[in-house]
Amino acid sequence: MDYIELARKWAIYLRSKYDRIELGSIVSRLVAELPDIKKEIKNIIPEISKVIKEVEGISKEEARRILEEKYPELLEIKKEERKGLPLLEGAKNGKVATRFAPNPSGYLHIGHARAIILSYEYAKMYNGRFILRLEDTDPKVKKPVLEAYEKIKDDVEWLIEDKVREMYIQSERLDIYYNYIRKLIEMGYAYVDLCDKDTISRNRRVGKECEHRNKDIGWNLEQFEKMLNGEYDEEEAVIRVKTDLSHPNPSVRDWIAFRIVNPKDNLHPWLLYKYGENYAEGIWLWPTYNFSVVIDDHLMGVTHVFRMKEHEVNTLKQEYVYKYFGWEMPKVTSYGALLVKDVPLHKSEIKKLIDEGKISGWDYPFLATLQAIRRRGIQPAAIKRYIVELGVSPVDIYVDWERIYSYNREIIDKKAKRYFIIKEPMKVFVRGIDLPYNIKIRNHPTEDLGERYYEIRSNVFFLERKDVLGNRYLRLMDAFNIEVVEIKEDYAIANLVSYSLEDARKINAKIVHWLYESSYRNIKILEPFKEIFAMGEKYLDDVKEGEIIQAVRYGFLKKEGDHFIFIHK
């Protein structure tokens, strides 16, 4: 079977189950069955996308019919498929160590979830170790945010639903990096370069060695000490790792391992907080990402690394340090980026919205930060399920929020009590009710979550305006059936028809939610980037802080303070 036919087979299978077909899901299946195709993925993506578009044009029923006719073996796929992530190459039980290593220059977002969950779940699968490492060795360009140190750990523990048992902060490990770069200098594999940055850039482009490359070890060690002591300012000296000057990628040629950052202009926030100003002002020399990550991965015993494919060139650079020290390199798995559209994601965008007063902060419920997603009421298990299904596909994909909402709905549905909320109310006078009339409403249609009671003593109700205007017959849920006989600008008049659900079915009455005149509350709801005010039943006063409910025919809501947050439909 060629890759087009294979892609069509899996697209039809996924269409029989879901409304949308994820490109990443198709690609991961292709790579699993046709491993040699991995190197051609970028070239065949347009063809696969075309297949997906064609298959999404058919109904779920038609997709199932095609499965029965052409691919009957997939109808038993649940029995045959391995649950969870695929096996990990070179993994041994009890010997796997993974790490999630963000820069604390901002808050974590949904794009980070892939690295967190893949790293944690694989470590868990093999009874191994999961490490959280904050890579904060750039106090100038990617200046750390002090609040992020605690928030990142909190976010990770929320997402993995477990405690982080190993955590490291790179800015507290500087002496370790200094020790290893000193060793590389002594071995002749690294050197101090006093050329200006334009000269360095020009030499790298043409593959030319600079005048300092072959200086003796004693000279290099002397300059290294001067750099440590602040005797050189920014861009006056760097330390470079010797590589192949003819390497086809100029950025790999003698890449920079250490830079000077003047602490007077860029004091490191964490070192200032942890050790005080005197200590922080004495740190001039900082390792670059590609140096510190090698040292830490080796010393921490990391065996498997999961990173976005954009880091592939970094792997090439890091290989040199592993080779020089004679260390075994971790097995690297590259995956595609998890992209977000229609939601602010970048730090500058979010900060601008905060500064303008348009959102409350980084945890504003309708952002894509993990703080926001958590506050909104999305459960970590829903995100985990989505990420595990995506696997380690090398293709960049956009987050399918509807899929996440679907999984979240499965988790919260059985625990969420039902309540009535009217967003656009219209007053309705119902004639013919036998008053007083007692109504008992279950808080959940299938689960035992209690009941609520109403003693109706007047004929005034509130219904959604569109329900009143668009239907002749209505059934007020768990109450009675009415016929709308007269509509005015601000109210409507209806007659009682009957009380039974069977009668409602006979007259094709639309089942609607409602509120009773003397027992409603005015409530505030946060929807994406706006606030709305609505009417809700009196029992909403009993909803506890943080509790998730379902507003019938509207969606799931989470109680927060004096308002509710809209989660999703």
CATH 3.40.50.620 for domain 174-287, yes or no, is yes
Poorest-confidence range of 45-59, 359-373, 458-472?
Answer: 45-59
Predicted confidence at residue 349, as pLDDT, reads 86
- As a whole number of angstroms, the distance between CA 132 and CA 118 comes to 13
Higher pLDDT among residues 303 and 74, named by residue:
303
Average pLDDT for residues 68-78, to the nearest whole number?
73
- H/E segment holding residue 442: strand 437-442
For residue 365, cis peptide bond before it (omega within 30 degrees of 0): no
pLDDT category at 124 given cuts 50, 70, 90 is very high
Residue 412 has pLDDT above 50, yes or no: yes
User: Residue 309 has what pLDDT?
Assistant: 85
pLDDT at position 80 is 41
Q: If you search the block for the tokens 């004679």, which residue do you land on?
A: 326
What's the confidence (pLDDT) of residue 540? Answer: 97
Interstrand relation of 256-260 and 285-287 (parallel, antiparallel or unpaired): antiparallel
Rounded to two decimals, the pTM is: 0.84
The tens digit of pLDDT for each residue in 441-457 reads 999 999 999 999 999 99
Cα separation, 307 vs 289, in Å, equals: 14
Give the CATH number of domain 417-568: 2.40.240.10
Domains 97-172+293-338 and 347-414 share a fold: no
Mean pLDDT of 384-398: 90
Q: Which fold has domain 97-172+293-338?
A: Rossmann fold (3.40.50)
Q: Where are the domains of the chain?
A: 3-80, 97-172+293-338, 174-287, 347-414, 417-568
C-alpha dist (Å) from residue 175 to 41, 178, 482, 552: 43, 5, 79, 60
What integer best gives the mean pLDDT of the chain? 93
Yes or no: say if 88 and 118 are a contact pair by the CB < 8 Å rule: no
Residue 480: pLDDT above 80? Answer: yes
Work out the pLDDT band at 242, boundaries 50, 70, 90.
very high
Whether the bond into 248 is cis, omega within 30 of 0: no
Per-residue pLDDT at 81: 46
Q: Alpha carbon of 369 to those of 315, 355, 390, 565: distances in Å? A: 28, 17, 19, 16
> Per the CATH hierarchy, to which homologous superfamily does domain 347-414 belong?
Glutamyl-trna Synthetase; Domain 2 (1.10.1160.10)
The HSE-up count of residue 222 (CA atoms within 13 Å, CB side) is: 5
Phi, psi of 241 (to 5 degrees): -95, 130
Using DSSP's 3-state secondary structure scheme, residue 438 falls into: strand
Dihedral sign (CA 229, 231, 234, 236): negative
Least confident of 15-29, 259-273, 481-495: 15-29
Question: Per mean pLDDT, which range of 80-94, 107-121, 346-360 is the poorest?
Answer: 80-94
